[in-house]
Structure 1
Amino acid sequence: MAALNFQGTNISAWLIPLAYAAVAVACGFTVPRIGYAILPGLVSSISVNAAVGFYSAIASGMIALTGIVFSLTFLMVQFSATAYSPRLVLWIARDPVISHAIGVFTATFLYALDSLAWVDRQGSGRVPLLGILVVSLLLIVSIIMFISLIHRIGKLQVTQMLTFTGDRGREVIESLYPPIETPASTASVESLDAPCTQTLFHHG
């Protein structure tokens, strides 16, 4: 049962990045078409070469950043598992911020590639402004997720890990045991005062 729960946790952790990637690909195919159909005059003033460089820099930089950051992250988690209990490190690894960060980084990379295909479409010399705005927004969200990820990795410090363990322990104690001020149940007292009876059945 524990192995099944662990596999379920891994599956749910990877479903989040896959969902981000699927949404990014879908938006990459639909948003430029909507812009061309509904808002044909919404065109950026930057040149085609500048737009190609902008999208290319975001795509290449994002995939490189994703590989470096998460290689260092999982390497740090692996080394921390030798210093702490592996269960404590597993709590950090199950943090949804890690899955969402992977998803946002992947979505930014994929959407930048899709938007790059719509620059100078059919030799029109147009750069859709909507694609520039969306990829810029994704870039800002990626920076926010990167900062949140660094904050989560900071929990692996000794002081932060002790504080985290103490907080989780107090939460478990409060959920299992009622406070001292809680009055005792009357049903339990009555059951103690009741006479003890026992029925024996004998055959033969």
Structure 2
Amino acid sequence: MPTMSALAGVTMKARLLNLWDRFRTGFWFVPLLFVVAAVIVAVAMPMVDAASEDWLLDRVPWIATTTAAARPTLSVIGGAMITVTGVVFSITVVALSIASSQFGTRTLRNFTDDRVTQVAIGMFVGTSLYCFLVMRSVRELNGSAFVPHLSVAVGVLLAMISIGVLILFIHHVAMAIQAPQILDSLGYDLDGAIDRLFPEKIGEPPKRPDASDGECQAGELPEEFATVKADRQGYIQGVDGQGLIELAEAHDLVIELDKRPGDFVASDSRVARVWPADKLTDEIAGELNDAIIVGSRRTPRQDIGCSVDEMVEVAVRALSPGINDPFTAINCIDRLSASLGRLAGREVPSAYRCDGEGHLRLVARPATFVEVLDAALADIRRYGRTSTSVSVRLMGALRLILQYVKRHDYREAILRQADRIIEAFEMENHQPCDRQLMRHSYEALTEAIANGHDDQPAPEGTAGTADVASSTQRTSS
């Protein structure tokens, strides 16, 4: 049976992991590391100069400088780096403004998490601070002078590196605000969430052989249970599953979660049920709440829906009348279809978690393929039904996903999505040629589903979506 100290350690590990995600997605963390490094180097370098001045100048005479030259050099570099830092902040704010208005505020997480921007800010601030600190060690008193030759040379070297970082930063920003780059970053996050949350592939030996036993034990639970209410309000960012299992094992409980990462919880709303009801205490309820990490926004570490919704938001914004950019929506559909195909080949984790002795301890609510598929396509279907190119691409996306499907219920879910797409499409006033193209795509998909595989070439018009979009726009004009 786990001790309370071990339980606290597991919960603390989950919270530290969530705290690390918050640190690394902020602008301040990496620059702070550069500032700390600059202070350390600025203190150490004059000491190295004082200890090896004669030896160093004999071997590297070209780094020699004077008091009159060292101070202006360091002062100019430090001031220039402060100016460049202001320029970098200005460019970053403009890029954030463009991205938020064009692609949605949820995509800003990818910008604040951007390493190039963080390193650029840290490099410029660190170089400036280094030069100002080293400048204090340049002194001339009573005819004797101390000039940290090597420290000044390091400052010049940092300035040269900063120029290169500035060029890299400008190039990176110009690329980062482009839709394909943003979607690539969002797709990378979505694939990472799938690999974390659905590690087992369909057909592989399960890592939790006790799932069926846990399901049987869940059916034997009594009707009477105790309710655990949330002690805070916000979005669930993570759940310490192992900590909850150990908590349940320590007190001989069974815990069933009503919420999962990504869900919103209000204060005093029910988040879990506990059996036996008479064993729940205020202390246990507090520890259970501590194992549920709640914050002001959703994060993708345990919430696959967060990454899906971010990409869907980009597609829906692109389809709005104010933007009217079906090509960006098509790019979103392509990325989503690739990730959903990846998910279709993964085993959904069991909702029933047992301890080492096979006793049911936790009933969770893992996301399923059917739920993720609907979340990814529903809004795009609704807002894209007036666009032939988008609707045809949705059919092509379902066909791509079908290639990875190995379960009958997944095929049925794909067929339901196809029925909804063509139903929504036919509600609009499309030209006969567009209706024929859409019907052809639908029939090809249903035939592939009926055959149980998709080894046929895509129907004409589904692969060349850009051509379909162009012809549709020319026809409407």
TM-score range, shorter chain: 0.7 to 0.9
| TM-score of the pair, normalised by structure 2 | 0.35
Are the aligned partners of 1:13 and 1:96 in contact in 2 as well (CA < 8 Å)?
Answer: no
User: Going by fraction, where is strand more abundant, 1 or 2?
Assistant: 2
Say if 2:172 is the partner of 1:159.
no
Percent identity reads 26
Question: 3-state DSSP class of the match of 1:102?
Answer: helix
1:77 corresponding residue in structure 2: 96
User: Which residue among 179, 182, 187 is the counterpart of 2:204?
Assistant: 182
CA gap 1:76/1:27 in 2 versus in 1, 3 angstroms: same
Per mean C-alpha deviation after superposition, the further-off stretch among 41-50 and 74-83 is 41-50
Shift of residue 155, structure 1, vs aligned partner:
1.9
1:28 corresponding residue in structure 2: 42
Q: How does 1:87-102 map to 2 (within 5 A)?
A: 87-102=106-121
Distance, in Å, in 2 between the alignment partners of 1:22 and 1:199 is 56
Distance, in Å, in 1 between the alignment partners of 2:31 and 2:214 is 55
1:17 corresponding residue in structure 2: 31
User: Going by fraction, where is helix more abundant, 1 or 2?
Assistant: 1
Distance, in Å, in 1 between the alignment partners of 2:220 and 2:32 is 62
Are the aligned partners of 2:49 and 2:148 in contact in 1 as well (CA < 8 Å)?
Answer: yes
CA gap 1:75/1:198 in 2 versus in 1, 3 angstroms: closer
Shift of residue 29, structure 1, vs aligned partner:
3.6
**Counterpart residue identity of residue 129, structure 1:** H
Say if 2:133 is the partner of 1:114.
yes
CA gap 1:12/1:85 in 2 versus in 1, 3 angstroms: closer
**Counterpart residue identity of residue 176, structure 1:** L
CA gap 1:189/1:57 in 2 versus in 1, 3 angstroms: same
Larger Rg: 2
Q: How many residues align?
A: 195
Runs of 4+ deviating beyond 4 Å: 4-8, 10-13, 183-192, 197-201
Q: Which runs of 5+ in 2 are unaligned?
A: 1-14, 58-62, 224-477
CA gap 1:182/1:85 in 2 versus in 1, 3 angstroms: farther
**Counterpart residue identity of residue 58, structure 1:** I
Say if 2:158 is the partner of 1:138.
yes
RMSD over aligned CA atoms reads 3.8
Question: 3-state DSSP class of the match of 1:39?
Answer: helix
Question: 3-state DSSP class of the match of 1:161?
Answer: helix
Shift of residue 108, structure 1, vs aligned partner:
0.7
Per mean C-alpha deviation after superposition, the further-off stretch among 20-29 and 85-94 is 20-29
| TM-score of the pair, normalised by structure 1 | 0.72
Are the aligned partners of 2:34 and 2:122 in contact in 1 as well (CA < 8 Å)?
Answer: yes
CA gap 1:78/1:19 in 2 versus in 1, 3 angstroms: same
Shift of residue 81, structure 1, vs aligned partner:
0.5
Question: 3-state DSSP class of the match of 2:201?
Answer: coil
CA gap 1:48/1:6 in 2 versus in 1, 3 angstroms: closer
Shift of residue 199, structure 1, vs aligned partner:
9.6
1:39 corresponding residue in structure 2: 52
**Counterpart residue identity of residue 154, structure 2:** V
Residue deviations 1:103-161 (CA, integer Å, cap 9, x gap)? 22112111112222333532535532211232133224434543553454222211211
The structure whose RCO (Cα within 8 Å, separation 6+) is larger is 1
